[in-house]
């Protein structure tokens, strides 16, 4: 179990640090590669939706039915699934729109050379976005950690999908801070720190949830993870992919993500 815990922590940390990749991309390119971003976000959504509905939800139902019986187990699965959706929706609701990471921006969305009056606003926007992303990353960290703990292969798939969608979030933090201060290191640090909310979520899961991780708890958490990931895909990833879409690349990415996830599940089964 110790090895599994270390592996789960490592995956969660890598997924969170992808925000730093986004900030680096923001510094070394003048425009976002919209074709790649659209396809990548669609791919991430495809992985998340497929694995949530085909694998995670089913695992949760099997676990809860075994523990509670057919009808109570199914109801518990549904409660966990929609409870996860409600949790992430509430978090999203209480994040002011100006700092909400669901408003994905490209590098070029922030003009170069702001006026003196705009510097303070840009810096504030960057700080607010970093806080918002940290709040959103927290339940994602719990989801990645608990999934990897129960099924390492599933944990890898979730970590990859989360990492992909963390990259544009890193851009959203770094760009306004960089243009407001001219300091690449400060912008990178804030982006990096916002991503550390993911392993922080894993740590909370380890310290608080671990003593209670029996069959019922795993089942409910898995169902909630499925709900969280479906909500993020529908509310964040697909709208952002459509924003940057060219020639249906987001849909092709979505299908590719589902196909890759389906094939990987067959190969490791």
Convert the pLDDT of each residue in 186-217 to its tens digit: 878 888 888 888 888 888 878 887 777 777 88
Residue 100 marked in a binding site: no
**Contact of 137 with 201, CB cutoff 8 Å:** yes
Query: Has residue 118 got a pLDDT over 60?
Result: no
Q: What's the whole-number mean pLDDT along residues 133-146?
A: 77
Let me know how long the chain is. Answer: 269
Q: By 3-state DSSP, what share of the chain in percent is helix, strand and coil, each rounded to 5?
A: 85, 0, 15
pTM for the full predicted model: 0.68
Q: What's the whole-number mean pLDDT along residues 60-75?
A: 94
Query: Has residue 249 got a pLDDT over 60?
Result: yes
Residue 165 marked in a binding site: yes
Query: Has residue 67 got a pLDDT over 90?
Result: yes
What confidence score (pLDDT) does residue 132 get? 66
What confidence score (pLDDT) does residue 130 get? 72
What confidence score (pLDDT) does residue 112 get? 45
What confidence score (pLDDT) does residue 99 get? 47
Alpha-carbon gap, residue 65 to 68, rounded angstroms? 5
**Contact of 134 with 197, CB cutoff 8 Å:** yes
Alpha-carbon gap, residue 208 to 190, rounded angstroms? 27
**pLDDT-derived band of residue 103, with 50, 70 and 90 as boundaries?**
low
Alpha-carbon gap, residue 156 to 66, rounded angstroms? 26
Residue 169 marked in a binding site: yes
State in Å, rounded, how far the first CA of the chain is from the last one: 21
Residue 166 marked in a binding site: yes
């Amino acid at each position: 179990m110790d090895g599994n815990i270390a592996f789960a922590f490592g995956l969660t940390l890598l997924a969170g640090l992808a925000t730093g990749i986004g900030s680096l991309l923001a510094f070394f390119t003048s425009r976002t590669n919209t074709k790649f971003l659209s396809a990548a976000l669609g791919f991430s959504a495809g992985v998340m939706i497929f694995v949530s509905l085909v694998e995670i939800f089913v695992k949760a139902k099997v676990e809860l039915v075994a523990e509670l019986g057919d009808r109570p187990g199914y109801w518990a699965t549904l409660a966990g699934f929609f409870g996860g959706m409600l949790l992430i929706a509430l978090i999203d609701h209480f994040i002011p729109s100006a700092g909400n990471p669901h408003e994905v921006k490209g590098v070029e969305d922030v003009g170069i050379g702001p006026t003196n009056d705009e510097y303070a606003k840009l810096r504030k926007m960057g700080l607010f976005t970093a806080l918002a992303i940290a709040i959103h990353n927290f339940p994602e960290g719990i989801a990645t950690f608990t999934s990897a703990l129960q099924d390492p292969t599933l944990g890898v798939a979730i970590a990859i999908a989360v990492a992909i969608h963390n990259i544009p979030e890193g851009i959203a933090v770094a760009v306004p801070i960089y243009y407001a201060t001219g300091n690449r290191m400060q912008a990178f640090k804030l982006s990096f720190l916002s991503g550390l909310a993911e392993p922080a979520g894993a740590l909370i899961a380890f310290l608080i949830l671990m003593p209670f991780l029996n069959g019922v708890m795993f089942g409910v958490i898995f169902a909630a993870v499925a709900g969280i990931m479906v909500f993020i895909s529908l509310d964040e990833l697909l709208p952002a992919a459509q924003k940057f879409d060219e020639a249906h690349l987001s849909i092709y990415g979505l299908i590719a993500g589902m196909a890759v996830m389906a094939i990987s599940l067959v190969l490791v089964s």
